[in-house]
Structure 1
Amino acid sequence: MSDQVRELHKAAAAGADGPKKREILEGARQVFRAEGFDGASMDKIARAAGVSKGTLYVYFRNKEELFTEMVSVDRREAAEQLCNFDDDSGDVTAMLQQVGENFIAMMIRPEHIALIRMVMGAAEKFPEAGQLFFEMGPRCGIGRLSAYLEKQVAAGRLAIDEDIELAAAHFLNLCQGNLVKPLLFNAGGAPDRQQIERTIASAVRMFLKSYGTAARQA
């Protein structure tokens, strides 16, 4: 993580998470969705949040800092959802199914899809926002899953003789299947529970064919 991204992260985390701040963030989210990063302004955000421009500047110095906080809040909530699993569970198949379903439930949320679009739109002119999203999102998820996989390798339940982070990335990419991209491009509706479970079950089977100890012994 670059020093600039680290400083933005610190700035985003600073201050009390009170109701006024949440109102400002919700107003900012509405403006960024409607106008994009370039079209958003502190004036528009203040109006949408129902606060004075002076109050807005008490909490945030500029729209870059506000955008960073919005990304950080979303990423923290997503991390809590994705990382809520039992490291010590010996049932790898069931645990991977749970991890995959939690991951997709987070990925297909309308507000998360909207955030991905906003970050991608902002990343060219405000690359630090893209870097922050990546560090707190994909890289954090891969790291968390890698730690679980490493424990399962040590316990003899998995046989991963290559980069464990790469194996974790393989699994999360398999889980997405054809569930996420249609939403990103507004080319389809949200998948139902049955589609998600079927896609994740397929991802688990494919992953275990490559890294499961039973497959290696066959």
Structure 2
Amino acid sequence: MFSMSPRPAPAKTAAPGRPKDLGKGAAILDAAKRLFTAQGFDGTSMDQIAAEAGVSKLTVYSHFGDKETLFAAAAKAYCEQQLPTSLFEARPEVPLRERLLQIAQAFFAMISAPEAVAGHRILCTPQMADSPLPQMFWEAGPRRVQDAFAELLRWRVSAGELEIDDIPRASSQFFTLLKGEPHAQLVFGCDGFCNGDIQEHLVSTVDLFLRAYAVRDRNDATAAQR
């Protein structure tokens, strides 16, 4: 994995001008995701991304400003593709446990994909410590997911299904628990959990979350106190 030298300067914004070609922007993002995953951040140049996308380097810069911004945009596009906004809609017709399992399965599928694991490893290298990239990635990916899930939790709280004092914290806890040991093993390259184990892990995590925050039936609560 190629390392990145520190770049503490703030990211540039794309230059103003004519409306951007959405097709070219998508092609650039796809090329960036492939190359960053395969070659790392420092191992990938804007020239290579331009060639892979079939556009000029000037077009890449006009869309994304600099490589750091492009990396963050690629991460955001990946998250939005794997976890679209529709996944976090309240959908009151779906039982709460089933709804949480749907989100848990989609989230773990996203973070366990080879490109996501590679991106995580890039961000964990010591060279990233003084770079703006980890914060840019956090805002573009994990923060977006946690905020969207928090809105779903608020709706379910208002519907009387959950009782949560600190919704942002509960949202963070949910995804942290989902990652757990299986994701750590993936990042470290260890052989461990199989598909059946992963599903059991996700189900037990959802059940643990519900034991902490679900509104219990009064009869159940009374019985538990006896």
TM range (shorter): 0.7 to 0.9
Structure 2: distance between partners of 1:49 and 1:203: 40
Q: 1:30 to 1:138 in 2, by over 3 A?
A: closer
State the alpha-carbon separation in 2 of the partners of residues 25 and 180 from structure 1.
Answer: 25
In the alignment, the residues of structure 1 paired with residue 179 and residue 131 of structure 2 have an alpha-carbon distance, to the nearest angstrom, of 27
Q: Which of the residues 163, 167, 192 maps onto 2:166? A: 163
Q: CA deviation at 1:190?
A: 7.1
SS in 1 for 2:84: helix
Contact 1:78/1:106, CA 8 A, preserved across alignment: yes
CA distance in 2, matches of 1:155, 1:53: 51
Task: Tell me, yes or no, if the aligned pair for 1:24 and 1:45 is still in contact at 8 Å.
Answer: yes
Q: Which runs of 5+ in 1 are unaligned?
A: none
1:137 equivalent in alignment to 2:120: no
TM-score (norm 1): 0.76
Q: CA RMSD in A?
A: 3.3
**CA 1:130–1:205: 2 relative to 1, 3 Å:** same
Partner of 2:74: helix, strand, or coil?
helix
Instruction: Name the CA shift for 1:106/1:155 in 2 (closer, same or farther; >3 Å).
Output: same
Q: Distance in 1 between matches of 2:32 and 2:69?
A: 11
Structure 2 segments unaligned to the other structure (5+ residues): 1-9
Q: Match of 1:176?
A: 179
Q: CA deviation at 1:58?
A: 5.0
Partner of 2:157: 153
Say if 2:42 is the partner of 1:38: yes
Check 1:52–1:102 CA distance in 2 against 1; reply closer, same or farther (3 A cut). closer
What whole-Å deviation, never above 9, does each CA across 1:50-70 have from its counterpart, x for those lacking one? Answer: 555455445454323332332
Match of 1:28 among 32, 37, 42: 32
Q: Which amino acid aligns with 1:93?
A: R
Contact residue 14 and residue 63 of structure 2 kept, 8 A:
no
Write 1 or 2 for the structure with the bigger share of helix: 1
Residues 201 and 15 of structure 1: CA distance in aligned 2, closer, same or farther (over 3 Å): same
Following the alignment from structure 1 to structure 2, what is the Cα–Cα distance between the partners of residues 90 and 33? 36
Aligned CA distance change for structure 1 residues 88 and 50 (closer, same or farther; 3 Å): same
What are the within-5 Å matches in structure 2 for residues 71-150 of structure 1?
71-80=75-84, 83-89=87-93, 91-121=95-125, 123-127=128-132, 129-150=133-154
CA distance in 2, matches of 1:60, 1:168: 30
Q: Deviations over 1:129-181 (max 9, x none)?
A: 22222123222222222222222222222222x31111122222222232211
Aligned residues, how many? 208
1:202 positional shift: 0.5
Task: Name the CA distance, whole Å, in 2 between partners of 1:10 and 1:196.
Answer: 45
- Seen in structure 2, the aligned counterparts of structure 1 residues 81 and 178 have a Cα distance that, compared at 3 Å, is farther
Q: Distance in 1 between matches of 2:148 and 2:117?
A: 22
Is 1:15 the counterpart of 2:20? The answer is: yes
SS at match of 1:178: helix
Tell me: CA distance 1:37–1:181, structure 2 relative to 1, closer, same or farther (3 Å): same
Contact kept? 2:112, 2:186, Cα under 8 Å: yes
